[in-house]
Amino acid sequence: MHAVRSLSLAFLAVATYVSAGPLAKRAVAYYDPNDNGGSMLTNAGNGLGEPLNVIISGLSSPDVLTYDGSINYARAIGFSTECLGIHLGGPQSANLGDGNGWVNQTVEIREDYGDASVGTCLESAAGGDHFRIFVQNGTEADSGALFLAVSYEEDASEDHDIEPDGYDIGRDDLVSWALGTTSYGGVTYSTTAENITGLLSAGSSGINHDISIDGIVTLLTVTIQ
Ligand SMILES: *[C@@H]1O[C@H](CO)[C@@H](O)[C@H](O)[C@H]1NC(C)=O
Ligand SMILES: *[C@@H]1O[C@H](CO)[C@@H](O)[C@H](O)[C@H]1NC(C)=O
Ligand SMILES: *[C@@H]1O[C@H](CO)[C@@H](O)[C@H](O)[C@H]1NC(C)=O
């Protein structure tokens, strides 16, 4: 499984540059996956899913929406890529109604506790915020937006279960870290937020771990300064 993940990541890094191009400006914030056979819940492999509770708008600066750009942005707001070797959860897939069908997450990113190199190793043991990224770029709904399934986990001794209210808490934590001005790797970002209702249903129907959600999706628009 690890080999498959690494391969698809390598492919992704190349494909993103070739297809989108860093300067190609998108025209819409996002398309509602439900309008074209998709879902705002991931497939966790057990008939249930996690809510896609944060969207990074397709109207963000194009570089933010690339593979490398999204990871740099994640670092700027307090996350980094997973600690290799301590990955506990399986990959999930999402259907964003863009004609690509069910596609695995591009990457899973974890809270780094203030140290982008070893921080995620601490997080894997201690719990914390994490998210999976899915890209809405199929030809039937090519917004370029990033759909994030964000959650807050209990520590490894609890088997990395999502804590009660963990989806709403994870979303609100991420948004609070992202808002305003942030920077990493010489790139400075300005982020604004808007809440959207009607994409997700409130409640726990279909939600992994039977955790209830408030149904809010937060739309972030990220502009590189
Ligand atoms: C869409 O995004 C995925 C994940 O980043 C990537 O693998 C794929 O090549 C992209 N497709 C297009 C047409 O840009
Ligand atoms: C998605 O991930 C699963 C689990 O690792 C794997 O079996 C499957 O082949 C992957 N699908 C694609 C399209 O990469
Ligand atoms: C979005 O909703 C959350 C949860 O109710 C709230 O804490 C947050 O302030 C709202 N954000 C905006 C931009 O309205």
Instruction: Give how many domains the chain has, as a whole number.
Output: 1
Domain membership flag for residue 7: no
For ligand 2, residues with CB inside 6 Å are: 1, 4, 8, 90-91, 104
Domain membership flag for residue 114: yes
Domain membership flag for residue 24: no
pLDDT of 133: 93
pLDDT of 7: 36
Residue of the CA atom closest to atom 4 of ligand 2: 91
Task: List, in sequence order, the alpha helices (H) in 67-139.
Answer: 67-76, 119-126
> What is the Å distance from ligand 2's center to 5 Cα?
8
pLDDT of 14: 36
20 within ligand 3 shell (Cβ under 6 A): no
> What is the Å distance from ligand 1's center to 16 Cα?
6
Domain membership flag for residue 21: no
pLDDT of 78: 86
pLDDT of 1: 33
Ligand 2 atom at minimum distance from 1 CA: 5
pLDDT of 214: 97
pLDDT of 17: 39
Domain membership flag for residue 111: yes
Domain membership flag for residue 10: no
The whole domain housing 91 covers 49-135+147-224
Ligand 1 atom at minimum distance from 138 CA: 13
For residue 161, give every residue at least 6 positions away whose Cβ sits within 8 Å of its Cβ, in sequence order, or none.
153, 154, 209
pLDDT of 209: 87
216 within ligand 3 shell (Cβ under 6 A): yes
- CB atoms near residue 145 (< 10 Å): 27
Domain membership flag for residue 68: yes
Q: Which of 152, 165, 195 has most ligand 3 atoms within 8 Å of CB, for mutation?
A: 195
Task: List, in sequence order, the alpha helices (H) in the chain.
Answer: 2-19, 67-76, 119-126, 166-178
pLDDT in tens, the chain (225 residues): 333 333 333 333 333 333 444 445 568 999 999 999 999 999 998 889 999 999 999 999 999 999 999 999 998 998 876 654 445 567 899 999 999 999 998 887 877 665 555 555 555 555 678 889 999 999 999 999 999 999 987 655 555 566 789 999 999 999 999 999 999 999 999 999 999 999 999 999 999 988 999 999 999 999 999
pLDDT of 72: 93
195 within ligand 3 shell (Cβ under 6 A): yes
Quote the CA–CA distance of 6 and 24 in Å, as a whole number.
27
Domain membership flag for residue 176: yes
